[in-house]
Chain A
Amino acid sequence: MNSILVWLSQPWPWYVAGPIIGLMVPLHLILLNRTFGISSSFRHVCAAIIPNNLDFLKYDWKSETWNLIFAVGILGGAFIAARYLSTDAPIDLSQAAIARMADFGITDLSGQHPKQIFEWSSLGDWRTLLLVVGGGFLVGFGTRYAGGCTSGHAIMGLSHLQLPSFVAVLGFFTGGLLMSWVFLPLLFA
């Protein structure tokens, strides 16, 4: 029994996790008859709760309630996994990544997100404020402008051989590489 629990709490290697994530595509299509995509949920919340007179937010968001419920499911599932199906061991990063984090001054590698940055108590640090607040704004603005995120464009769109999705993924990496190689090193210098 104990060994089963130990086995269950191990993280999955990429070659197990990748195909399982890919199964979200047929599961969405067959069970929900909807395409896989999560960033739309931001738009639905926006349309539902923020009073406005903008055309982009005038649509029948109620018919997409399933997408919001899916998001609530993610919250619950992650809670269960973090509490009952995980260990406290730090993520098994490559040596190169660990060295780079040290260059950034990030030495506490426990948990999923660096505690030195992503904690409420760090909000006084302008870097935390920039990453948490500014980054969130860019994620919301960018996904809607591009028409999808990693799930809707990279996984669903590429699976469906959509050229706009391929272009969007090129954009994801343009922005990501720019941030990773140019701006973050300045931020953590």
Chain B
Amino acid sequence: MRNFLALVLGTLFGIILVKAEVLSWFRIQEMFAFQSIHMFGIIGLAVVVGALSVFIIRKMGIKSIEGNVIELKDKAPQYKSAYIGGTIFGLGWAMTGACPGPLYALIGSGTTIMILTVVMGILGVLAYAALRSKLPH
């Protein structure tokens, strides 16, 4: 059931990413150069709706459709890794014009060279896994 719903949500999200143009390198460059409200407005409003949803779910004690308590784990309080890792990702985001969701969407919508980018992303995870104990967190 969860897998089926994940497929439905993923499909929906893929459509949204194309319709919102957030998978576009042009839009990402425009954002980092502060030349349009497009991306900032999207991320900002997404956070507003997301935060309101989390607030309501907690306040009203809404359960999942399977009737379970919704688990919201806190992110690990590791600030060095959040900042350094975030900066490394930010460099890659501006280079590829895509974060992981849009990378999948780009492949689906025909920019198939992004397959290489995803493969390299997976190798990036492998490199992180190998170096993890030596990196500051």
Are A139 and B117 in contact, with the CB atoms below 8 A? Answer: yes
CB-based contact A133/B117 at 8 Å: yes
Assembled-state Cα–Cα distance A176/B31 (Å) = 9
The number of residues on chain A lying at the interface, defined by a beta carbon within 8 Å of a beta carbon of chain B, is 126
Interface residues of B in 84-137 (CB under 8 A from A): 84-101, 103-114, 116-130, 132, 135
1/0 per residue, CB under 8 A from B, across A138-157: the answer is 11111111111111011111
A-B contact count (CB 8 A): 508
Nearest neighbor of A159 in chain B, beta-carbon distance: B50
Question: B72 contacts A160, CB within 8 Å?
Answer: yes
Chain A, range 129-188, C-beta contacts under 8 Å to B:
130-151, 153-165, 167-181, 183-184
- Given known A-B contacts A32-B2, A154-B43, A73 and B10 have beta carbons under 8 A apart: yes
Q: A21-B20, A26-B53, A167-B86 are in contact. Are A140 and B91 (CB under 8 A)?
A: no
The answer to whether B96 touches A135, judged by C-beta atoms less than 8 angstroms apart, is yes
How near does chain A come to B96, taking the closest CB pair, in angstroms? 4
Main secondary structure of the interface of B (DSSP, over half): helix
Given A46-B122, A140-B123, A147-B75, verify A176-B94 contact (CB < 8 Å).
yes
- Are the C-beta atoms of A28 and B49 separated by less than 8 Å? no
Are A120 and B112 touching (Cβ within 8 A)? Answer: yes
Contact B50 A25 (CB under 8 A): yes
- How near does chain B come to A158, taking the closest CB pair, in angstroms? 5
CB nearest to B27 among chain A residues:
A91
List residues of chain B with CB within 8 A of the CB of A159: 47, 50-51, 53-54
**Quick check: is B61 within 8 A (CB to CB) of the other chain?**
no
CA distance A61 to B74 in the complex (A): 20
Asked if A15 and B73 sit within 8 Å, CB to CB, the answer is no
Q: Contacts A32-B5, A71-B10, A175-B92 given; 15 further ones with Cβ under 8 A?
A: A26-B53, A29-B72, A45-B122, A50-B126, A73-B9, A73-B10, A73-B11, A82-B110, A112-B24, A113-B114, A114-B26, A140-B127, A143-B100, A146-B86, A168-B83
Cβ contacts A to B, 6 pairs, < 8 Å: A29-B54, A38-B101, A66-B2, A78-B17, A97-B29, A136-B116
